[in-house]
Amino acid sequence: MRALLLFLSRQEALKNFMLRFQMFRRTAWRFVAGETLDDAIRAVQEANRLGIRATVDFLGENTKTREDAETAVAEALRILDRIAAERVECNISVKLTQLGLDLGTDYCYRNLIRIVRHAGGLQKFVRVDMEDSHYTQRTVDIVLQARRESDNVGAVVQAYLYRTQEDVRTLLDAGCRIRLCKGAYLEPETVAFKRKSDTDANFVRLMRILLDSGLYHAVATHDAAIISAACEYARENKIGAEGFEFQMLYGIRRDLQQRLAEEGYNVRVYIPYGMRWYPYFMRRLAERPANVLFILRNLLRK
Ligand SMILES: Cc1cc2nc3c(=O)[nH]c(=O)nc-3n(C[C@H](O)[C@H](O)[C@H](O)COP(=O)(O)OP(=O)(O)OC[C@H]3O[C@@H](n4cnc5c(N)ncnc54)[C@H](O)[C@@H]3O)c2cc1C
């Protein structure tokens, strides 16, 4: 089921067919704040009221034209100006393929660095999301290059990839802040663990390395067992709650987000918005087949 949904997430033709169903679109709004920046800002303000920080993502990936890449850069600059003006606790997440990675590494770097410089002027942080394994090396290289100019940019690593422990070492040597997640793409066995238990074990191993590093990193998961393991490890090793943050996705385990914030942990929610929500939404469905059954049951009932 997971593999099928991840395959479908890349099929444009199916997207146009599925978007005809109101039920499908409505379910997407559980995971996506809306189609406009105003919608995202409302979600940020709601999170902030609960003591939860945010990171906003303008949805889009695998941009095929420079015009689309430049639209994405302009929107990122607009997000940064808006979150600064609204004085919300929020930073920004970007995807390199949205900024034109498929159109050239140097071109993509120039687009990223414009965003990083603008964010730096506003004391804001830019997180570079990690995409599928075709892009891992170039993403790590581009983040390291950007970090040589500014320290308000950070990376994401995926616990399901065999290579990640090495990437973590390289990024830590450069003093880079890291978001650790499990990984959301369809990957072959040659590069990624197939068994969830192996990914989970690697996540815990990497989480400990990050917490021990003394830098401020993000543990991005909704997995209650791993979150407990992180809290326990931090307690046992006298790492204060201010030394790291938990991150979760908009619309998932709001109860857990709120509980951790109430317990004094730093929590940040990832808030996506925009018209291009289809692949993001399909990845969320793939993570939990129960989400698909819910849609199918409602479609059949109609
Ligand atoms: C802030 C943040 C940023 C991320 N950035 C990236 C990135 O840059 N690159 C990347 O590849 N991946 C990214 N991810 C996605 C990540 O890789 C996982 O695919 C996703 O978080 C699900 O894994 P999990 O850690 O929650 O664990 P799982 O074992 O998948 O889930 C644990 C529990 O969480 C709940 N849950 C998880 N997903 C869902 C869902 N979709 N719907 C309902 N309940 C759910 C369920 O209760 C489940 O039992 C990010 C995740 C977060 C939280």
pLDDT in tens, 221-233: 999 999 999 999 9
Pocket test for ligand 1, best of 223, 247, 257, 284 (most atoms within 8 A of CB): 223
Q: Is 141 a catalytic residue?
A: no
Check residue 28 and give its pLDDT: 86
* 184 CA distance to ligand 1 middle (Å): 7
Predicted confidence at residue 156, as pLDDT, reads: 98
Is a pLDDT exceeding 70 seen at residue 34?
A: yes
CA–centroid distance, residue 281 to ligand 1 (Å): 12
| pLDDT given for residue 10 in this prediction | 79
Q: What is the pTM of this model?
A: 0.95
Give strand pairing partners of 127: 93, 154
Atom of ligand 1 nearest to the CA of 182: 17
**How many whole angstroms separate alpha carbon 117 and alpha carbon 105?**
18
pLDDT tens digit sequence for 242-300: 999 999 999 999 999 999 999 999 999 999 999 888 899 999 988 887 777 777 776 66
Residues 269 and 52 sit within 8 Å (Cβ to Cβ): yes
253 lines ligand 1 (CB under 6 A): yes
Q: Ligand 1 center to residue 222 CA distance, Å?
A: 6
Q: Give the pLDDT score at 298.
A: 67
The CA 252 to ligand 1 mean position distance, Å, reads 8
- Report the C-alpha gap between 222 and 200 in whole angstroms: 12
Write the residue with the smallest CA distance to atom 31 of ligand 1.
223
Rounded to the nearest angstrom, the gap between the alpha carbon of residue 80 and the centroid of all alpha carbons in its chain is 17
Find out whether the beta carbon of 221 lies less than 6 Å from any atom of ligand 1: yes
Looking at residue 73, what is its pLDDT? 98
Decide whether any atom of ligand 1 lies within 6 Å of the 61 Cβ: no
Q: What residues contact residue 262 under an 8 Å CB cut-off, 6+ apart?
A: 51
Check pocket membership of 254 for ligand 1, CB cut-off 6 A: no
Q: Which long-range contacts (CB under 8 A, 24 or more apart) does 197-206 make?
A: 199/159, 199/160, 200/159, 200/225, 200/226, 202/159, 202/160, 202/164, 202/165, 203/159, 204/229, 205/165, 206/157, 206/159, 206/164, 206/165, 206/168, 206/180
Query: Is 129 marked active-site?
Result: yes
Q: Average pLDDT in the 31-36 region?
A: 95
Q: How confident is the model at residue 17 (pLDDT cuts 50, 70, 90)?
A: confident
Q: Could you tell me the pLDDT band of residue 92, with boundaries at 50, 70 and 90? A: very high
181 in ligand 1 pocket by Cβ < 6 Å? yes
Ligand 1 midpoint to CA 284 (Å): 8
Decide: 157 in ligand 1 pocket, CB within 6 A: no
CB of 226 closer than 6 angstroms to any ligand 1 atom: no
> What confidence tens digit (pLDDT) does each residue in 121-140 have?
999 999 999 999 999 999 99
Q: 188 vs 7, 65, 191, 287, CA distance in Å?
A: 13, 28, 6, 17
Distance CA 3, CA 187 (A): 9
The pLDDT value given to residue 8: 81
CA of 221 to the centre of ligand 1 (A): 5
DSSP the chain: -HHHHHHHTT-HHHHHHHTT-HHHHHHHTTTS--SSHHHHHHHHHHHHHTT-EEEEEE---S--SHHHHHHHHHHHHHHHHHHHHHT-SEEEEE-TTTTTGGG-HHHHHHHHHHHHHHHHHTT--EEE----TTSHHHHHHHHHHHHHH-SSEEEEEETTBTTHHHHHHHHHHTT--EEEE---S---TTTB--SHHHHHHHHHHHHHHHHHT-S-EEEE---HHHHHHHHHHHHHTT--GGGEEEEEETTS-HHHHHHHHHTT-EEEEEEEESS--HHHHHHHHHH-HHHHHHHHHHHHH-
Predicted confidence band of residue 65 (pLDDT cuts 50, 70, 90):
very high
- Give pLDDT tens digits for 196-207: 999 999 999 999
Token representation of residue 159: 């616990």
pLDDT (0 to 100) of residue 248: 98
Residue of 53, 127, 179, 283 marked active site: 179
Residue 90 has pLDDT above 70, yes or no: yes
- What does the pLDDT read at residue 19? 72
Is residue 87 very low, low, confident or very high in pLDDT (cuts 50, 70, 90)? very high
